[in-house]
Structure 1
Amino acid sequence: MWRSIASNALTFLIVALFVLGGLILWGRGQYEGPGPLSEAICVQVDRGSNFSRVSRDLEEQGAVEYGWIFRTGADYSGKSGDLKAGSFLVEPGASMEEIVDVVTRGGASTCGTEVVYRIGVNRLSAQVRELDPATNRFVERAEFEPGEEDAPAVYTEVRAAADTRYRIAFAEGVTSWQVVDALRNMDVLDGEVDDVPPEGALAPDSYEVRSGDSRADVLAQMAEQQELWVSAAWEARDADLPLESPEELLTLASIIEKETGVAEERGQVASVFVNRLNRGMRLQTDPTVIYGITRGQGVLGRGLRRSELRAATPWNTYVILGLPPTPIANPGRASLMAAAQPDETPYVFFVADGTGGHAFAETLDEHNRNVARWREIEAERANQNDGG
């Protein structure tokens, strides 16, 4: 009898082991295999949450079929204590293993709501937008001008949410004063700014920030980035440039930045100024005159007067020879490289051509013809505006 009991027990144990092994293999396949999602979703993980809550949310959204396998896999992989707060994009067909990696990896949220502060030459704007997981595109929910109008209710709502992301994007050609003035109007940041950074010292780029970050730290990050860009451009410069220092390259790049908004023209515009420097000609560029008037504090908002073109300021390149003493804005990476590696052209003149770009010329006669054509375009536009 005991032999029969032992034999049955052994059989039962073997069957149980086979069943357990099969269950483990099945569970592993469920954990590592493609998931049931047909469209991307955004899963939100609140601060203080746990894998039980996350697994329920994922089951409700159809991202996983068996929450207990999801939790077991996280435990087995040693990641159950690594859950990160935020909003995370889960791609179609993502396995449980991939989802565990997404919600434990850390870093910036990959979906959800984002506030983008855009520092432009003419205005500061704030845009509240939300990623649509199905299309992987942002949908705008509101836009307003901080400091100029009351913030919409949706902005107040997302400011109170812990997983909202914030980004500051400032345009190439913005002055340091404009950057500081804009940062002071962003309620997501803290702290005072005692001094405006030197002109040209800030890199026009996009910066991730967090609520409560100090304005001084953001400026320091911008300055560090610009220092790297200037250093790289200076190292890559052409050997025969008429520039004696990285500071002069930065100044030239700022003039290029203010003279053209057409990316393809930067090298040609740079060549005009380099050719003029090599020939001992005055640069004669309007943006430097404007900077001498405004010192970068806002936009002039009108055309230059003849008296201003003749006025002696350190930045008036119609009066002084060579480069002005400082940059006139914060140039971007492309303008820095254009200043370091200008196109090889015979041009020493350029004027607007009516398309947003410029007409370039080698001789004064050719330039005068281009100027005459531009005056005609200006007159035609004035007549159209007057209803003629």
Structure 2
Amino acid sequence: MQAIYKQWFVDFEFPVDSPPMEGWQAKPDGVVNSPPVEGCPTGGVVKRDTKAYRSLPYNPKLKDRAKALRKTGVLSEVLFWQQVHKKKFKELDFDRQKIIGNYIVDFYCPNLNVVVEIDGSSHDNKQEYDAERDAYLKGLGLIVIHIKDIDVKRNLQGVMDYLREHEAFQMDCGHAENNHPALRAPLQRRGIGYKSCGGKMVWNDELDQEIPKGWEVGTLKDILTLFSGYSFKGEEYSFDEGITVVRGENVTEQGFRWDTHKKWNNKLPGRSKDCFLKPYDIIVGMDGSKVGKNWGIVSKFQLPLLLAQRISCLRSIDNYFQTYAYYSFFEQRFENYVHQVHTGTSVPHISGDQILDFSIIKPNHAITKYFNKIALKIIDKSHQVIEENQKLNDLLSIFLSKMTKAEATA
């Protein structure tokens, strides 16, 4: 997980697929698509000599073909082109009849690595070819959106409204402050860090290291609020019914363990009613031998939960910073920082103020928003897998128990 923080967001260029819009039934016409040259997808492909993070496979043998297609004057393509050329659509650049590998795509947005295909007669009875082409494009980290030819001709405004709200176009990289290589690197550059992808770095004296240009140094206090749990009376805990209470022993390294459950089934005294946890809350253990290592993020599958004393809950002031803050804990510096500032020798302890004083590097809002969108998918998928595994383990336990009873009575 440290690599996520250190290599930065270039590792999170996940493709987003989109089904065609619902349209009218009509005779499809007009769109011409080129077949692969000398085999697909690699035959004849060379690398275009551009900046590394913007490069895509390019077959120069298709150059004349692409020029001819631009002059064809297909009505749906002309109508769409009038809506997007010269940065008319969200100030983004678009290329028409763009060569990518052994394919020529209808429209390509280099700012966001989005391909828009207008499906007409050339797509009839070519499902296998289209699927192969789409798989190849997605393998490069490109987002592929299909629009029906008839939709463009009969409801152009509806098409543009659809695209304007599409997930792929929510990150507007046409503006200079958002135009970071980490948001534009194709998938073949995965694993290569922000700096290697062309991101400009500047030296920061406070951290004694380089940081991305335009980013700021701050603390967790700038982006998070913190509250500590409630001191529930131990003798009033229940083991059978009630709401699970998260205690220090439940918070482990980068997660939770539930081998010991204590529940609260009484009235909620004092401020305990304010100690209910929410999805994606960051929980940090505040004492013990592993202070600085014990923290995790709450899953919706674990709720409802109450927070006990000696544990803190961190919530983003701006929701977009929640996942960024969470992944910041994976960096080794937090553990080292806690070892430097904690109090106590036999039982190390850290305060809420000390947690909030941990220094971080803050990207601009646009990058954080984009990162949050991708990171939430990763976290949700991880939580879903954990929940499914738990259900399977529960079923296995029931099955083994019944087998044991059956053997005993046989």
TM-score for the superposition, normalised by structure 2? 0.27
Higher relative contact order (CA 8 A, sep 6+): 2
TM-score for the superposition, normalised by structure 1? 0.28
User: Could you say which structure has the larger radius of gyration?
Assistant: 1
